[in-house]
Structures are given as C-alpha cells and as structure tokens.
Chains A and B, each alone.
Chain A
Amino acid sequence: MRWREICGVAFAILLCAPASTARAQSPYGIGRPATAAEIAGWNIDVGRDGSNLPKGSGSVSHGREVFAQQCASCHGDNGEGGLGDRLVGGQGTIGTAKPIRTVGSFWPYAPTLFDYIRRAMPQNAPQSLSDEDVYALSAYVLSLNGLVGADATLDAKSLAAIKMPNRDKFVGDARPDVK
C-alpha cells in the first residue's frame, strides 16, 4: 500500500514535471536561446575582482610600445593627458581643493582598467587590440603610476591582486543631503 502511494506520487511528479517546466519556460515564447559561444563572444565584462579576465599576459615594456603607437597622441607621451584624460599622478590630491583624478589617484580597481581599455580604447578603433596588448597597456599605465615595477608582467591573477590606493574611498549615496 505504502509502496503504491509512493509510486503514485512519483508518477504524478513525473507527469507534472514537464508541465511545470513548460510553464517555467518563457511566458510569451519570444526570443531564442543564446548559446555559450555567443555569450562568450559578447560578454566582455570584467569584475572588480578580475573575474572573466581572459588568458594571456602583457609586460610594461611591450605596453610602452603599444602606448606610444595607440594612446600617446591623446593621452600624452607619459600619460599626462591632452585630448584624452590624464592617466598619471595626482596621488594625495583627491581630498584637497584641487583634486587630480587619474587611474593612479582615483580608480578603485585595477581590473576595470583592462575592462575599459578593451571595450572602448583607442577611441578611433575600440575592440581592436589583442588581450596581450590590453594587459601590456594596463601594466604600463599602472607602472607610470608607481603601482607595479618597470619590469612587471601582468596576467589575470596579478592584475586582480593589485590594491589601488583609492579603493576604500567610495561611499554610498547619502542624498537627500540638504534638508
């Protein structure tokens, strides 16, 4: 008897499972599944912890060459800025009357540098650089800011391990702040 009940329940679950799965499927049945390959091709989001950073690595010295070719015309030969943002210096100025916001002085997470260069730089040809070049540029900009040595080579693990000086200086939105 007991066994029959159990079988009955199990049978009911088997019957119901496809039905509930169907209900859990898209309510409108619009769109098509995205394949893993399609997602991998488009998902270029790099987490602040370095998650989703690609394989590969790049050195400061290679980054110096790529920077001269691809970046210096807008950001200056040494990242001092021009048409593009200043990238270097300013550490210690953020809490003063004249803050200088750069990668070194203001950016909280080093992997964001890789994410941004890969998706948006250089401005005239974004997403044209290899992952190795992006690692190298990240390394070079961080070296100009004194955050890695001139002989450094960065990969996913070592880039994520860098602690940026301004990391703990971000707070939540306290508005309304005038009452």
Chain B
Amino acid sequence: MSSTIDTSDKSATTTRRGFLKGSGAVAGGVVLGAGASAAAETENLPPNVPDWMKAPGDPMGSQPYGAPSPFEKGVVKNISKNLKQYISASGRTPLQELDGIITPNGLFYERHHGGVPTIDPAQHRLMLHGLVERPLIFTVDDLRRFPSESRIHFLECSGNPGYTKPYGKTASDLVGLLSCAEWTGVSLKLVLQEAGLKPEAKWVIAEGADAAALTRSIPIEKCLEDAMLVYSQNGERLRPQQGYPLRLLLPGFEGNMNVKWLRRLHVTAEPAYSREETSKYTDLLPDGTAREFSFYMEAKSIITRPSGTQRLSAPGFHEITGIAWSGHGKIKRVEVSVDDGKSWQDAQLQEPVLTRALTRFRLPWQWDGKPAVIQSRAIDETGYVQPTLAELLAVRGENYFYHNNAIWPWRIAADGEVTNALA
C-alpha cells in the first residue's frame, strides 16, 4: 500500500525528516540520491555496523564556527533567481524546513535597500539628537554598558506575500519573509532618557548606516513601550545581514521600520515623511487613497508541514504543524480545518506562547488517503481572527500590496502531493 503511494520509496527507509526533505526536492534543491540510499541500505543498516562507527570522525577544531551537516545543504535561504537586481532585494527563510519557533541566524530572512554594509564596530557611532536636552553620541561599547535585556520576537516584512498571482508554491515562497529570534540589547526608553526627551518630542526618525541611509519615523509611544536597540541575536552578535553592529527592534511593526546598521535617532515633533514611508511602504486602496503609517503586522498563521511541494508518504497518521504570530500580542488560539473550511478544531499550542513572537501549533491527523484541503487560522489576544484572502481583497483591492495576512490553504491530492490551494 505505502509503496504504491510513496513515489520516493527509496528514501522512505531513511528518517522521516530526510524523507520530507527529499520530497521537497523541487523547492529546496535537496536530492537524496537513490543510488546512495540503496548503498546505505546494504552497508550501513541493520544488521551491519555503519561506516561512521568504524573509524574516528573529524577531529576537534575542524570547524571553528560550526556548520550544518552536509546532508542539510539544501536547507538554505530561498532567494529568487529572477530579480531585476540584488542590491535592494529580499531573501526568504525556508519555513517548511524548520522546527520550533527560533530561526537560525544563517536562515533569517533578509531585506536590504542598499546592500549589506561591512561595518567596523570600532568606527560605528549612534547619534541621538533633535528634541532632547542633551544630544549624545554612543559607541557600540557604550550601548553594551546599559542594563541589557533579551526578548524573543518575530520580524516580518510588510509585503509577505502580495495579493495577486502568481502565488508561491511553498510556505517559504508565501510567507518566508518572516523569522523569529531572541534579541539582546538595551531598551530604547533608557537611551532616550539618557538624553532627556523634550515635551514636544512625538516621533523618532531612525536612520541606517547603509548605502540607502534608510529612514523611517517611529511614534514616540512605541519607542517608550517595547522598542530595543539590539546588538545580539540568538546569543551571538548580529549578522551583517541583520544590521551588525546595531539595529532597532520594534516588536510587531513591519520589518523595514526595524532599521538596521542604526546610526542616528532624530527626535522630532512630526514624521520625516521619507520616501520609504510615503511612496513605498503605503497601502493603495481602490479609491486612490493610500494608507500611511500602517505599522502593525496583524495576526497570521500558516501550516508548514505538510505544505506546498511536500508529499504525504501514505495514508495514516500525520502531524499537522505550523506557526502563528501577531504584532498585537500573544496568539490566543489557532484553529485548523482539514475539510476545506467546513469545520475547524483547536490546535495544540507549544509553550511558551510569547507576545509578538512565533507560536508553534500542532494537530494530530489521520489522513484517509482522499483529496483534502487543510488550512489554519490564528486568533490573537485582541480577539482578531485571521481573515481569508477573499475577505482582504474585498476591502483592500488588488493594489494594496502590503500587510497580506490571509489564511493560506494547502491542497492534498490522492497521491499525497501538497500544492497551494489558491494558486
């Protein structure tokens, strides 16, 4: 039974994870060679003693900075090969290949507007000026002297995904401009207090030290609520792609506002109305008006396994799992439907459920081998329910572009193949 449904049965004898990756070969470029698997079956499987037990492994020090197993070389960022240019561009996290809620630093999504600068931290400065009592300049070491804190938050690009076809094939294609990390830094509030805010201070214009000198205006309320100046991510210093040596973190706000390579904070009475916050990151409505200063990422979820381009090996037990998140706080509930939206049931939420962080959800499922459509919807602590794409399009139209938080269903065919049900 299973051998007739599982078209890649050569790899079915390897681990389940290995199998799923093999079935994702189209998107991830992972190829588990049938010949290699066959050889492994004869030489390394019971009752034989595997090769890697018959000789010492690599010596200590062969990898001063560790890298994943060579068998995981297909798990890399999802970077389009057809971009007009790669200086102002983005690369996606392979969400369907990851477990838990923390994105490894090497797989964190990227969005740059002027390339990735190489900054010597000894020559980097943060200037804080404008409507403050004492304009100040900080070195990176200065900022590390402040009381520090660590928090887990997601970051998501505002355009993740667009509203119009062609829609992506994989979970990464659809919402891979999303990642989550433990961030360490100093509360922006402490640094602003160090300079002393004047009463008329209402906005802080943040500027990056990249070739775009990217500029976004942050409302002072957010700066004093939970904004951070971050220097470390998942325990190590920020990667250059994430703003080394210093970035702004605005939990729940659209990604581009979390200014990387942060070099300047200009405290003002009104926004900069920079190019990025007028001509670019605004949301065009059908009547020709455009929403500006649309900061928060609304509640959203997606099933990452099984998901597009994967294949169920056989009818029977399969865990449905995915991630949910909301810029407005904690995920309260995730509902999953396995019958094309006719009925919904609560998924299990993996602890810890953190505010403005990814939350892992799971649902045990017995697949009967018939075609099915599966999907998830998130409900956050404000009571907001993740909408359908049709509901969003009805209000926003096709030219809106940003902040698409639609439910995304996956179609499972009788042979187990998983595809985008809206494509």
Contacts and interface: CB of A to CB of B under 8 A. Distances in A.
B412 interface: no
A27 B194 CA distance: 6
B389 to A, nearest CB: 10
B356 interface: no
Given A28-B194, A30-B145, A43-B266, A178 B293 contact: no
B288 interface: yes
A97 B292 CA distance: 20
A106 B289 CA distance: 10
A151 B375 CA distance: 60
B290 A170 contact: yes
A28 B84 CA distance: 48
Nearest to A169: B289
A172 B292 contact: yes
Interface stretch (B12-20, B91-99, B242-250, B273-281): B273-281
B215 interface: yes
B274 A26 contact: no
A146 interface: no
A126 B137 contact: no
A169 B395 CA distance: 18
A43 B133 CA distance: 17
B388 to A, nearest CB: 8
Interface residues of A, number: 48
* Best-surrounded residue of B88, B384, B387, B399 (most CB of chain A within 10 A): B399
Interface string B384-400: 10010001100110110
A45 B142 contact: no
A31 interface: yes
B114 A106 contact: no
Interface string B121-148: 0000001110001111110001101100
Nearest to A164: B278
A3 interface: no
Given A172-B291, A178-B392, A34 B296 contact: no
* Best-surrounded residue of B128, B213, B392 (most CB of chain A within 10 A): B213
* Best-surrounded residue of A44, A115, A126, A177 (most CB of chain B within 10 A): A177
Contacts of B142: 30-31
Interface stretch (A116-124, A132-140, A154-162): A116-124
A129 to B, nearest CB: 13
B294 interface: yes
A1 B384 CA distance: 69
B211 A106 contact: no
Given A24-B133, A44-B213, A120-B114, A169 B294 contact: no
B190 interface: yes
A171 B292 contact: yes
A178 B128 contact: no
B213 A126 contact: yes
Given A39-B129, A126-B114, A173-B293, A26 B136 contact: yes
8 contacts: A24-B133, A26-B196, A30-B143, A43-B129, A45-B272, A112-B278, A120-B114, A123-B211
4 nearest CB pairs, A to B:
A95-B288, A119-B213, A34-B135, A116-B275
Interface of A: 24-28, 30-34, 38-39, 42-45, 47-48, 83, 94-97, 99, 101, 103, 106-109, 112, 115-116, 119-120, 123, 126-127, 169-178
Given A34-B135, A45-B266, A178-B391, 10 more contacts: A28-B145, A28-B194, A30-B143, A31-B137, A34-B129, A123-B88, A173-B291, A173-B293, A178-B392, A178-B395
